[in-house]
Structure 1
Amino acid sequence: MNEYDSEIMAGLLENSGYHLTDNPAEAGVILLNTCYVREKVKHKIYSRLGELKKLKEEKPELILGLCGCLVQKEPEEVLRRAPYLDFILGTSNFYQLPEVLEDISGNHNRESQSGDKYARVVRVEEDRAIPEGMPKLRKRRFSAFVSVMRGCNNFCSYCNVPYVRGREVSRPRKDILREIEELAQK
């Protein structure tokens, strides 16, 4: 699921005129799409954010965002531990990425009412509907992820998917088949 969401975010960024780079020092926007299955993963995310904080201090115009399950599970904790983030988007809000970046770009050099220097946007709504037909930047040429549903109804003791992605919601069959047919034509 995270891989699929990341492909959509990359497609949205590309359609908005952004170009991907593997070099954080070259980036104008750095976006981490998080998973939150185990505590160890959470520690890795905060460690990576600590590294990116240094880059943000050197390059204040850098827009730094965090998306995904960790944000959905504990948005207040994320903002407490990483107050230098420009935005956070939950698991159902990542499709709003172009709009959020446009808002931040227009306000990035202004201080907020609270006096901090970051134009923070927080969107962690519970609406699980993801619009169909989102652009995707696929990593693989001969295989692809196709999401047939979001969420889960099994509240297993070791898993937090139902808590961060909500109850099971299936995509309409026609949308799944259309996506598969489009992939087969490429």
Structure 2
Amino acid sequence: MNVHDSERLSGLLEDAGYVKAVAGDTADLVVFNTCAVRENADNKLYGTLGHLAPIKAEREGMQIAVGGCLAQKDRDTVVKKAPWVDVVFGTHNIGSLPVLLERARHNEQAQVEIIESLEAFPSTLPAKRESAYAGWVSISVGCNNTCTFCIVPALRGKEVDRRPGDVLAEVQALVEQGVLEVTLLGQNVNSYGVSFADPEEPRDRGAFAKLLRATGNIEGLERVRFTSPHPAEFTDDVIEAMAATPNVCPQLH
């Protein structure tokens, strides 16, 4: 999920006119896309921000942005601990980054924007993919479980699913660009369909299996992977779909 978000952030910035810094160059903009699953992520981030402070002080116009799960968790704390940071944005509004950077430049003060619910699926934003043959496709964001050890639902919110037609259209578009392998992404892919189920009808628990089978009908797509499935909701129909759909990889994580 974080790799996928990073590709979208790169795509957004390039669309806004930024150019990737060449190795050895001093960047005008440094963006941290953070994770908060492990506690040492905090120490790592603030330590690295500390190293950047003197570089930024010497380089006029340089900007630093912090996004992702740790930003969603710490919010204003990021700017309190590292007042030289220009932009703090959360997991739900990565599409706002170029505007927030411009606003920080114009106002000459840090911009902190953390919103509580998803503005747009990351997959609807432009991407700068690291691989020409493989693509990430977001099918859901968030999770309705409350596992004791896991901070994800608090930072990514309740599960929101994309409609199957939107997912398949994106997969088709990627295949037309030469992508051979797609990974379907969600915090809990097995519960896919929960947020677009008809309130009058019992939930269609077969939605994810149907999505896997439908990806098998996309000509030119050689491999389909997915992550992450939850054991408690791993139903027989998904196993059957994996077995019956040739391009779905025999892999589980």
Q: Give TM-score scaled by structure 2 length.
A: 0.66
Residue of 120, 127, 134 corresponding to 2:117: 127
Name 2:166's counterpart in structure 1. 175
- Alpha-carbon distance between aligned partners in 2 of 1:22 and 1:35, rounded to the nearest angstrom: 25
Name the aligned partner's letter for residue 132 of structure 2.
Answer: R
Residue 133 of structure 1 and its aligned partner are, at CA, apart by: 2.9
- The residue aligned with 1:5 is 5
Tell me the matched-pair count.
176
CA–CA separation in structure 1 for the residues paired with 2:81 and 2:110: 14
**CA offset digits 1:130-176 (Å, max 9, x no partner):** 15631111001111111111111111111100010001111122221
Partner of 1:89: 89
Counterpart check, 1:69 vs 2:60: no
Which amino acid is the alignment partner of residue 115 of structure 2? Answer: E
Matched-pair contact (CA < 8 Å) for 2:79–2:110? no
Contact 1:24 1:30 in 2 (8 A): no
Whole-Å separation in 1 of the counterparts to 2:24 and 2:156: 29
Correspondent of 2:155 among 160, 164, 169: 164
Q: Percent identity?
A: 37
Shift of 1:23: 4.2
Per the alignment, in what secondary structure is the counterpart of residue 72 of structure 1? Answer: helix
Corresponding residue of 1:31? 31
Partner residue, 1:55: 55
Aligned mates of 1:184, 1:106 — CA distance in 2: 41
Q: Structure 1: which 5+ runs fail to align?
A: 109-118
Distance across 2 between alignment mates of 1:171 and 1:24: 40
Specify whether residues 44 and 86 from structure 1 end up closer, same or farther in structure 2 by C-alpha distance, changes over 3 A only. same
Secondary structure of 1:105's counterpart equals: helix
C-alpha RMSD of the superposition: 1.6
Q: Give distance in 2, aligned partners of 1:102 and 1:130.
A: 20
SS at match of 1:30: strand
1:155 correspondence with 2:168: no
C-alpha change, 1:42 and 1:24, in structure 2 (3 Å) is farther
Aligned in 2, Cα 1:134/1:85: closer, same or farther, shift over 3 Å? Answer: same
**Structure 1 residue ranges, 4+ long, deviating more than 3 angstroms after superposition:** 22-25
Deviation at 1:107, TM superposition (A): 3.3
Distance 2:157 2:23 in 1: 34
Shift of 1:29: 1.1
1:54-96 C-alpha deviation (Å, 9 max, x unpaired): 2111214111110010010121322221111111001111101
Q: Look up the match of 2:248.
A: none
Q: TM-score, normalised to structure 1's length?
A: 0.88
Residue 130 of structure 2 corresponds to 139
